């Protein structure tokens, strides 16, 4: 047997609900917008919860997922376009992931796009 090392290549994640679940996880982790990374340690659930089979049992995972699907926001560009139409898009859903005391700070800094 002979083997050759193959280079890594980028592949788009297939269409479907899992694409939104993974995007939600990366969004919550602060990988999509760095500004959100500073809140990760305060999240009421781990971002990986979005990928669990029992995630539907948590209202916060379902509301975030529903909001992303409704706007077809499955990538950074789509989310930026949604915020152009409605700057408060995802604010309520994101706040569900954080303690009530943090909501005023989040509301002032929303949308979290000023990290460049």
Contact (Cβ atoms closer than 8 angstroms) between residue 61 and residue 50: yes
- Over residues 57-101, the pLDDT tens digits come to 889 999 999 999 999 999 999 999 999 999 999 999 999 999 999
User: What pLDDT was estimated at residue 6?
Assistant: 75
Structure tokens at 115: 């990290």
**What phi and psi values does residue 29 have, to the nearest 5 degrees?**
-75, -15
Please tell me the pTM assigned to this model: 0.84
- Over residues 10-29, the pLDDT tens digits come to 656 667 788 999 999 999 99
The domain segmentation of the chain, as residue ranges, is: 17-108
Q: Which helix or strand (DSSP H or E) is residue 26 part of?
A: helix 17-29
């Amino acid at each position: 047997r002979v083997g050759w090392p193959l280079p890594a290549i980028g592949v788009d994640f297939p269409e479907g609900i899992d694409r939104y679940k993974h995007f939600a996880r990366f969004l919550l982790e602060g990988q999509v917008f760095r500004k959100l990374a500073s809140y990760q340690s305060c999240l009421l659930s781990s971002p990986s919860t979005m990928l669990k089979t029992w995630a539907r049992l948590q209202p916060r995972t379902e509301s975030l997922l529903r909001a992303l699907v409704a706007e077809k926001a499955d990538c950074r560009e789509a989310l930026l376009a949604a915020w152009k139409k409605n700057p408060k898009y995802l604010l309520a859903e994101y706040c569900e992931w954080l303690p009530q005391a943090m909501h005023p700070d989040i509301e002032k800094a929303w949308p979290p796009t000023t990290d460049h």
